[in-house]
Amino acid sequence: MSKLNLSQNVLMGEIPQSMGSMRSLQFLNLYGNKLTGKIPHVLGDCSDLLSLNLRNNSLSDKIPIELGNLDHLQVMLDLSSNSRCGPIPENLEKLASLENLNLSHNHLSGKIPQTLSSMISIQSLDIFFNNLSGVVPSDSFFKKGTYMGNPGLSGNATGLSFCIDKGHRKHHKNVVVSIIVPIASMLLLITCVVASLLWWRHKRLSDEKSNGSDMWGTASLKWERKGRFTFSEISKATNNFSDTYYIGKGKFGIVYKVCLPSGQVVVVKRFNIL
């Protein structure tokens, strides 16, 4: 027998171990039944199989690595819509003639084996809606696949947003921190320096204004080396600060030369009061 098609029936129970003795079988289709249990590893002895379709059953447990021995598989290997669990066997890399591999809608976990890129004849690779994790390998082979529905899977492939794996994310975080911390420290230092300069300048201007205001008060002005005199004496001696006594102008006021009644000659500055 080379072809066996029992698809879309209500077959129940496990796949018989005796099928492993059907060495001339080329097409096996058990699609759309209610089969349960494991896939018999003896199916790997059906070395002439060109197509194996076990889709839409309730088959559980891991994918047997013996399926990698079916090196004549060409049309398809379809194990989708079952309850398969565990990792994708690396042994599937030996299926170099296979054109369609469908492992979607299962509970497969772990990373996608890099070795699958040895399946050089693959035209369709469907492993969406599983529990796979890690980064999809970057080889051009994996661009043929669809991977949506795997929450822990990332990469530049159909159905996924490009992202960085945990190792690269940690490295990226360390790089960002090593850049931001020195910059933030430098900005803080510059801010402190600028704030100090502005405070000093404000204090100096305040002191100068305060000094200028005091000079025009009613109290007597004292110069210990030259004696003492009052504001009214300076105002009278300069004819109320007439331009006749003007000798210069500074940043903060006008300078006058004053000859006091006592004969004492002094230079005074009249501050600009803002």
What is the number of structural domains in the chain? Answer: 3
Segment 139-143 long-range contacts (CB within 8 Å, at least 24 positions apart): 139/114, 141/116, 141/117, 142/112, 142/116, 142/117
CA 118 to chain centre: 32
Domain of 265, CATH number, reads 3.30.200.20
Q: Which of 35-39, 106-110, 136-140, 147-151 has the lowest mean pLDDT?
A: 136-140
Indicate if 12 and 115 belong to the same structural domain.
yes
**Cβ-contact 29, 6 below 8 angstroms:** yes
Is the model's pLDDT at 169 over the cut of 70? Answer: no
65 and 177 share one domain: no
pLDDT band for position 200 (cuts 50, 70, 90) = confident
Q: Residues 95, 11: one domain?
A: yes
Task: Please report, rounded to a whole number, the percentage of residues in the chain having pLDDT higher than 90.
Answer: 54
The per-residue pLDDT for range 238-247, each reduced to its tens digit, is 788 777 777 8
Verify that 51 and 128 share a domain, yes or no: yes
What's the Cα-to-Cα distance from 23 to each of 7, 52, 141, rounded to whole Å?
20, 14, 31
pLDDT in tens, 37-58: 999 999 999 999 999 999 999 9
Inter-residue contact 148 to 124 (CB < 8 Å): no
> pTM of the predicted model, to two decimals?
0.59
Domain match, 145 and 259 both: no
Residue 210 and residue 224 share a domain: no
Residues 35 and 138 both lie in one domain: yes
Say whether both 72 and 86 belong to one domain.
yes
More confident site: 174 or 220 = 174
Could you tell me what percent of the chain has a pLDDT over 70? 81
Question: Domain of 203?
Answer: 166-215
6: helix, strand or coil: coil
